[in-house]
Amino acid sequence: MHILFVGDIVGRPGRDVVAAELPRLREQLKLDFVIANGENAAGGFGLTRPLADDLFATGIDCITTGNHWADQKEILSFIDEEDRILRPRNYPMGVPGKGVGLYETRAGARVLVVNLMGRVFMDAIDDPFAAAEAELSACPLGEGADAVVIDMHAEATSEKMAMGHFCDGRASLVVGTHSHIPTADAQVLPNGTAYLTDAGACCDYDSVIGMEKYEPVQRFLKKMHGSRFTPAMGPATLCAAFVVTDAKGLAVRIEPVRIGGRLQQALPTL
């Protein structure tokens, strides 16, 4: 199976580069399933129904989120009915939405997507490792699902790497989001799980993690808030991870994807 995981989509520049490049990538890489983190799609904070529909129209099959998932309160009115949008699985009981979905590709393969959020330097929510264990046990790779993808939305690289090794051999891909900076450690772990600490973001990289530079720089300099963060509006880079799995659902290949904008380009070939 050919899977693409698209990093955090930040504002209009991120949405535009995904709309421009993803249809071609689906064809060129013969993609069976596409997942994208969409929690920053609405002006950098949250996700709305119209923007979610626009993202699905580009060829995205499932949208994951993270700590900004509910910044646009209208999501609370539709997330329970929209199975293709996930919020972190380890939020407390009773929170709207769900953190896991089992999807079917056009060819009939089953893909389990689990959305988790870390706790180091982030909100004190439920244990992501216990949540991962529950879902991997309930729907094992090769039995309940033909592929398993885990979005580990976390600040600490150590927590992301620990999740990768915790799931090694039981997931097709464990990929980090949230940091908005693509890391250089794409690898297949010893037991067959593809791993990447952070997929990066789809954003203008002449920025501070996708946001216009002035305000975040001033906050570091003066420790005072001036104005709201807004997405940098220059040409964006699409950042993603491309994964190929075998008949057992384990990874045989993972490569970074970077298209457009300022970053060094990277495009896998078949």
Q: In angstroms, how far is the first alpha carbon of the chain from the final one?
A: 13
* DSSP secondary structure, 162-189, as one string: HHHHHTTTT-SEEEEESS-S--S--EE-
Degrees to nearest 5, angle at CA 80 with 76 and 86 = 90
Residues annotated as catalytic (active site), given as ranges: 68
Query: Of the candidates 45, 55, 48, which has an alpha carbon nearest to the alpha carbon of residue 19?
Result: 55
Question: Do strands 100-104 and 110-117 pair parallel, antiparallel, or not at all (unpaired)?
Answer: antiparallel
With residue 257 as reference, give the H or E element that holds it. strand 251-259
Question: Do strands 238-245 and 2-6 pair parallel, antiparallel, or not at all (unpaired)?
Answer: antiparallel
